[in-house]
Amino acid sequence: MKFILPLFAFVLSFSTISAQTDAVDNTRYQIVFHLTSGDTLAHKALVKQLNNLLHAAPKSRIEVVTAWVSISL
């Protein structure tokens, strides 16, 4: 019994590590983000998500739609 628990933990950790590989998807997706917040932290989070998306699926077509409240001119 003492041997089975560490073995189970090892197998479980290996499966989660293998699921986090950097796989690039060459499918062309069309994605629309809708930004409604005027908070600069939300803008930074959106830019991070766009970078992550372009890293994972570089052939994607992305559009960002904003409301008049979200960006001050």
Rounded to whole angstroms, the Cα distance separating 33 from 63 reads 6
| Average pLDDT estimate for 6-16 | 59
User: What range defines the domain where residue 51 resides?
Assistant: 23-73
User: Is residue 6 in a domain?
Assistant: no
CA 40 to centroid of chain Cα atoms: 19
| Residue-wise pLDDT tens digits, 35-63 | 888 888 989 999 999 999 999 999 999 99
User: Is residue 62 in a domain?
Assistant: yes
Domain tally, the chain: 1
Rounded to whole angstroms, the Cα distance separating 25 from 15 reads 21
Helices (H) and strands (E) in the chain, counts: 2, 2
Give residue 73's pLDDT band: very low, low, confident or very high (50, 70, 90): low
